[in-house]
Amino acid sequence: MKKIDLKANIIDLKGETLLDQDGKALTVSGLVSNYLLQVKDDNSIKLYDWAQRIYKDGFIELDDSDLAKLKRIIEDSAFPVISKAPILKAIG
């Protein structure tokens, strides 16, 4: 099992934290957990559980096959580079 820390903020090229419409920091955990709730997948329960754990704890522990699945989901997403890159860096 690998622990994946997703607590990082999304930053711009100046190193400043990006903010949402409410002025709160955009986080990798927030983006990933909310995106997982929108993914169409055969294993909806697993993705829902992942989303809950990531949102609540800011990290998740996954085995190699689940880690590969999460990475594929993010790689196939429509996230722009400014958010996709930090997510993929966090996943490893």
Q: Give the residue extent of every domain in the chain.
A: 2-65+72-91
Q: How far apart are alpha carbons 80 and 91 in whole angstroms? A: 16
Numbers of helices and strands, H then E, in the chain: 4, 2
pLDDT digits (tens, 9 = 90+) for 12-41: 999 999 999 999 999 999 999 999 999 998
> Tell me, what's the pLDDT at 41?
85
Q: How far apart are alpha carbons 50 and 46 in whole angstroms? A: 6
Q: How far apart are alpha carbons 50 and 32 in whole angstroms? A: 9
Is there a contact between 11 and 86 (Cβ–Cβ < 8 Å)?
A: yes
> Tell me, what's the pLDDT at 47?
97
pLDDT digits (tens, 9 = 90+) for 37-87: 999 988 999 999 999 999 999 999 999 999 999 999 999 999 999 999 999
Q: How far apart are alpha carbons 12 and 23 in whole angstroms? A: 15
